């Protein structure tokens, strides 16, 4: 994964609460696809926010924020409460990353969505509601913002605020390290745990082949 | 926060957490052992990732799979020849990595959250992960079960671990005796309404109280299933004799000496008397009516005798706007009851409500009656085994004779993905559905969903419109 150290760019305001992943990525399995052509990460870029982004005749809704010329290159999304709630579908994250979003700022997030962001080069930032509103007001002007991952700080005009980011996540984002690789470095610990736990809770460890 | 606290009073959640910590990552995060990993057909793509990275499945003996999301539920499906790309990927992953896959159309197969308890794969005190947000369902056995995205799924395949944040704990104490024809589904719809779609965001919610201890195991799954609709990450119910009686003898549950050893641990698996929860809510459910959703968020719920709320009465501007958009999408008016609203479809199925007790409850309403001519009504059992049991009891005849479609197990219309998205609700059509989400387009683009219990859905199928099941002589 590419390192995420400083994110600088236009922020788009989308202050709607409880935007669920069905709304971000209304994608479904399709007939006619063959497994040989299937990619690990399947998505249709045009599906992003489809219920908001297009009118009922299929043409672009000119009022939708990401359709407005100033926001087509937005890197940051300033969103409402509980952003990304609902289904676990990771397409929601892939589509946002594909659009170019590298940071989402909201008062709260859906849990699975929040975790998936880190695995796809998007930094989700939780800020108090009044800060999010202030940033959304700045964003309306298509202002550029700076999210300094290293310093855990957001700058927008005169506004500056630190945000929480656990150290292990910060280190991983800056280094662009893959989380699987990081865990597998602990191979000895993983084996130790299982060896000990096997004695404590033997019923958990089904015999290989017993299935 | 994250350091093991093995001496003071602990919540059920904390006890399970502490028993699975491999490494403390700081800031409340830990690397946890995953006891059971269950994969469904949409997760089959992760095996492509495993292959391309040259990684092996770390614990095939702790990994299980079933196909439910994209498979067809038509009873005419010929499983000897049927396939689709998702299923092919999953089968390929099974072949390369050697773990148990419940082939569709064979015993043990079905909707993942119905299958894992039914087969005794999910157990009290275990950690269980699955690439689906309704994995919290099986927390009803006293397990710590959570949904993950596809990238985390790959991480678990490769490491059998997951990085998790110590969740805030919430206890929801539910007291009272449900009145006639009011079910576990009505109880949880009522609670989701009161708590709100994000009211338990990120929490580990433990459901407790006399209404829970009096509830059979299958109703408890329905309760925990919808914990995610309040934003909760985990839903849990402490194991008791009901839980143990349910599990004993199931195919993958421990047997003999191992069962006795497990029991000794499971009997202590509950929140300590003086354990402190970050928040606690109390509900008395003796007065609640059968519930039904009116909008596009699972907390848009009313009792069947209430009227649809008026957005003008909502003080919060953002909520008001969303209510107006919801009414517009669903095509109903504020200030009126839902009773009498004409419907087009009925779906009885899903990980929320497709277990044998749900089908019995629906059948008791349907018996001797007929589906309204303009309604297309489907019964989609939660698993192959649920379907077989229902057929042994003759429930299939009851449904078929009434004009229902009696189908195979699968997720089908719940997320509008069944049979590669052919099993969905047509645009603009209105459905009473026993599922868990009423989102815009959830059951198909333009679909209009009203969530309800199996009995309420069955009654609506017969009446052809939304009705109060209690007018149908319901006794359940």
Reported as a single tens digit per residue, the pLDDT across B236-262 is: 999 999 999 999 999 999 999 999 999
Letter string b/e over residues B257-289, b meaning 16 or more CB atoms within 10 A of that residue's CB: eebeebbeebeebbbeeebebeeebebebeebb
Letter string b/e over residues A146-164, b meaning 16 or more CB atoms within 10 A of that residue's CB: ebbbeebebebeeeebebe
| B259/A203 Cβ within 8 A | yes
pLDDT at A27: 81
Q: Is the interface score ipTM higher than 0.90? A: yes
pLDDT at A43: 86
For residue A33, pLDDT beyond 80: no
Asked, for residue B364, whether it belongs to a domain, the answer is yes
Would you tell me which residues 124-153 of chain A have a C-beta closer than 8 angstroms to some C-beta of chain B? none
Chain A positions in Cβ-Cβ contact with residue B201 (cut-off 8 Å):
82, 85, 108, 110-111
Would you tell me which residues 288-307 of chain B have a C-beta closer than 8 angstroms to some C-beta of chain A? 297
For residue A83, the 8-state DSSP code is B
pLDDT digits (tens, 9 = 90+) for B331-369: 999 999 999 999 999 999 999 999 999 999 999 999 999
Q: Which of A20, A29, A33 to mutate to test the interface with B (most CBs of B within 10 A)?
A: A29
Residue B268 contacts A where some CB pair is shorter than 8 Å: no
Grade residue B422 by pLDDT with cuts at 50, 70 and 90: very high
| A207/B61 Cβ within 8 A | yes
Residue A46 contacts B where some CB pair is shorter than 8 Å: no
Shared domain for B381 and B403, answered yes or no, is yes
Residue B32 main-chain phi, psi, to 5 deg: -110, 145
Residue B257 contacts A where some CB pair is shorter than 8 Å: no
| A93/B23 Cβ within 8 A | no
Strands B127-130 and A6-14: unpaired
Asked, for residue B1, whether it belongs to a domain, the answer is no
CB A27 within 8 A of CB A43: yes
Chain A positions in Cβ-Cβ contact with residue B67 (cut-off 8 Å):
none
CATH code of B16's domain: 3.30.499.10
A:B CB pairs within 8 Å: 195
Q: What's the gap in Å between the CA of B394 and the closest CA on chain A?
A: 32
CATH code of B204's domain: 3.40.1060.10
Would you tell me which residues 57-76 of chain A have a C-beta closer than 8 angstroms to some C-beta of chain B? none
Shared domain for B358 and B457, answered yes or no, is yes
pTM of the model as a whole: 0.96
Shared domain for B108 and B224, answered yes or no, is no
Shared domain for B188 and B277, answered yes or no, is yes
Element (H, E) at A135: helix A129-140
Instruction: Report the SS3 class of residue B434.
Output: coil
pLDDT digits (tens, 9 = 90+) for B11-30: 999 999 999 999 999 999 99
Residue with tokens 């015999």: A207
Shared domain for B128 and B117, answered yes or no, is yes
Q: Which of A52, A112, A184 to mutate to test the interface with B (most CBs of B within 10 A)?
A: A112
Asked, for residue B4, whether it belongs to a domain, the answer is no
Residue A185 contacts B where some CB pair is shorter than 8 Å: no
| A208/B60 Cβ within 8 A | yes
Instruction: Report the SS3 class of residue A191.
Output: helix
Element (H, E) at B122: none
Q: What's the gap in Å between the CA of B246 and the closest CA on chain A?
A: 17
Would you tell me which residues 74-133 of chain A have a C-beta closer than 8 angstroms to some C-beta of chain B? 80-82, 85-90, 93, 108, 110-113, 115-116, 119-120
Shared domain for B253 and B313, answered yes or no, is no
Q: How many domains does one find in chain B?
A: 3
Asked, for residue B320, whether it belongs to a domain, the answer is yes
CB B358 within 8 A of CB B456: no
Strand partners, A9: A145
Q: What is the dihedral of CA A37, A40, A46, A49, to 10 degrees?
A: 150
pLDDT at B2: 42
Q: What percent of chain B has pLDDT over 70?
A: 98
Shared domain for B132 and B159, answered yes or no, is yes
User: Which of B84, B158, B441 lies closest to A26 in CB terms?
Assistant: B441
Shared domain for B19 and B78, answered yes or no, is yes
Alpha carbons B384 and B133: distance in angstroms, whole number: 22
Residue B74 contacts A where some CB pair is shorter than 8 Å: no
List the alpha helices (DSSP H) in B206-276. Answer: 210-213, 217-225, 241-247, 256-266
- Domains annotated for chain A, with CATH where assigned, are 6-30+37-179 (3.20.19.10)
CB atoms within 10 A of CB A63: 9
Would you tell me which residues 159-178 of chain A have a C-beta closer than 8 angstroms to some C-beta of chain B? 166-168
Residue A56 contacts B where some CB pair is shorter than 8 Å: no
For residue A37, pLDDT beyond 80: no
Structural domain of B451: 292-472
Residue A13 contacts B where some CB pair is shorter than 8 Å: no
pLDDT digits (tens, 9 = 90+) for B430-454: 999 999 999 999 999 999 999 999 9
Residue A191 contacts B where some CB pair is shorter than 8 Å: no
Shared domain for B410 and B280, answered yes or no, is no
What rounded mean pLDDT belongs to chain A? 93
Shared domain for B35 and B158, answered yes or no, is yes
Instruction: Report the SS3 class of residue B259.
Output: helix
Asked, for residue B7, whether it belongs to a domain, the answer is no
Element (H, E) at A168: helix A167-175
pLDDT at B1: 41
Query: Please, is A32 exposed, middle or buried when counting C-beta atoms within 10 Å of its C-beta (0-12, 13-18, 19+)?
Result: exposed
Q: What's the gap in Å between the CA of B230 and the closest CA on chain A?
A: 10
Joined tokens for residue A73: 């290159």
CB B180 within 8 A of CB B215: no
Shared domain for B115 and B221, answered yes or no, is no
Chain A positions in Cβ-Cβ contact with residue B23 (cut-off 8 Å):
186, 189
Single out the residue in B228, B255, B284 at which a domain terminates. B284
Alpha carbons B162 and B135: distance in angstroms, whole number: 15
| B231/A85 Cβ within 8 A | yes
Shared domain for B404 and B431, answered yes or no, is yes
Asked, for residue B278, whether it belongs to a domain, the answer is yes
pLDDT digits (tens, 9 = 90+) for A86-108: 999 999 999 999 999 999 999 99
Joined tokens for residue A35: 């497994």
| B27/A166 Cβ within 8 A | yes
pLDDT at A38: 80
């Amino acid at each position: 994964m590419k390192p995420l150290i400083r994110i600088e760019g236009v922020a788009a305001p989308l202050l709607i609460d409880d935007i669920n992943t069905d709304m971000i990525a209304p994608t479904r399995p399709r007939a006619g696809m063959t497994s040989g052509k299937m990619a690990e990460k399947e998505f249709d870029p045009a599906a992003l926010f489809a219920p908001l982004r297009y009118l009922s005749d299929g043409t672009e809704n000119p009022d939708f924020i990401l359709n407005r010329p100033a926001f087509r290159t937005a890197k940051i999304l300033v969103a409402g409460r509980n952003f990304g709630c609902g289904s676990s579908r990771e397409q929601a994250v892939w589509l946002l990353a594909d659009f170019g979003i590298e940071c989402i700022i909201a008062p709260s997030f859906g849990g699975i969505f929040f975790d998936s962001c880190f695995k796809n080069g998007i930094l989700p930032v939780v800020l108090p509601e009044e800060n999010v509103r202030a940033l959304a007001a700045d964003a309306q002007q298509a202002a550029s913002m700076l999210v300094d991952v290293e310093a855990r700080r957001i700058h927008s005009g005169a506004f500056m605020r630190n945000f929480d980011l656990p150290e292990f996540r910060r280190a991983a984002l800056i280094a662009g390290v893959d989380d699987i690789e990081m865990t597998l470095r602990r191979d000895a610990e993983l084996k130790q745990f299982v060896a000990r736990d096997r004695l404590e809770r033997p019923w958990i460890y089904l015999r290989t082949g017993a299935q | 926060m994250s350091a093991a606290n093995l001496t003071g009073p602990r919540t059920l959640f904390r006890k399970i957490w502490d028993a699975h910590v491999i490494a403390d990552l700081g800031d409340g995060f830990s690397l946890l052992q995953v006891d059971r990993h269950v994969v469904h057909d949409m997760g089959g793509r992760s095996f492509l990732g495993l292959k391309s990275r040259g990684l092996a499945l770390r614990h095939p003996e702790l990994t299980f799979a079933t196909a439910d999301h994209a498979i067809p539920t038509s009873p005419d499906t010929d499983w000897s020849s049927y396939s689709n790309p998702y299923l092919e990927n999953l089968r390929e992953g099974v072949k390369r990595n050697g773990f148990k896959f419940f082939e569709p159309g064979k015993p043990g197969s079905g909707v993942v959250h119905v299958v894992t308890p039914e087969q005794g794969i999910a157990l009290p005190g275990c950690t269980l992960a699955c690439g689906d947000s309704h994995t919290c369902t099986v927390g009803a056995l006293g397990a710590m079960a959570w949904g993950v995205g596809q990238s985390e799924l790959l991480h678990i395949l490769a490491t059998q671990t997951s990085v998790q944040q110590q969740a805030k704990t919430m206890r929801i104490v539910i007291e009272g005796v449900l009145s006639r024809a009011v079910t576990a589904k009505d109880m949880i719809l009522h609670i989701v309404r009161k708590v709100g779609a994000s009211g338990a965001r990120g929490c580990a919610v433990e459901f407790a109280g006399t209404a829970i201890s009096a509830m059979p195991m299958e109703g408890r799954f329905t309760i925990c299933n919808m914990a995610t609709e309040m934003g909760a990450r985990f839903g849990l119910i402490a194991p008791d004799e009901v839980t143990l009686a349910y599990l004993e003898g199931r195919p993958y549950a421990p047997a003999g000496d191992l069962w006795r050893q497990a029991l000794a641990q499971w009997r202590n698996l509950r929140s300590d008397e003086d354990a402190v929860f970050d928040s606690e809510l109390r509900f008395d459910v003796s007065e609640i009516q059968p519930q039904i959703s009116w909008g596009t968020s699972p907390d848009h719920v009313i009792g069947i005798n209430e009227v649809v709320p008026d957005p003008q009465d909502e003080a919060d501007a953002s909520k008001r706007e969303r209510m107006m958009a919801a009414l517009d999408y669903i095509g109903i008016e504020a200030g009126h009851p839902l009773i009498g609203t004409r419907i087009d479809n009925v779906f009885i199925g899903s990980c929320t409500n497709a277990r044998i007790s749900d089908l019995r409850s629906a059948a008791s309403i349907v018996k001797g009656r007929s589906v309204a001519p303009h309604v297309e009504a489907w019964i989609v059992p939660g698993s192959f085994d649920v379907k077989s049991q229902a057929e042994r009891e003759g429930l299939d005849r009851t449904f078929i004779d009434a004009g229902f479609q009696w189908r195979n197990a699968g997720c089908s219309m719940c997320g509008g993905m069944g049979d590669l998205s052919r099993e969905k609700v047509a645009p603009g059509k209105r459905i009473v559905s026993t599922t868990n989400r009423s989102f815009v387009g959830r059951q198909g683009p333009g679909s209009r969903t009203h969530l309800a219990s199996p009995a309420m859905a069955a009654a609506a199928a017969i009446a052809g419109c939304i009705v109060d099941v209690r007018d149908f002589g319901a006794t359940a």
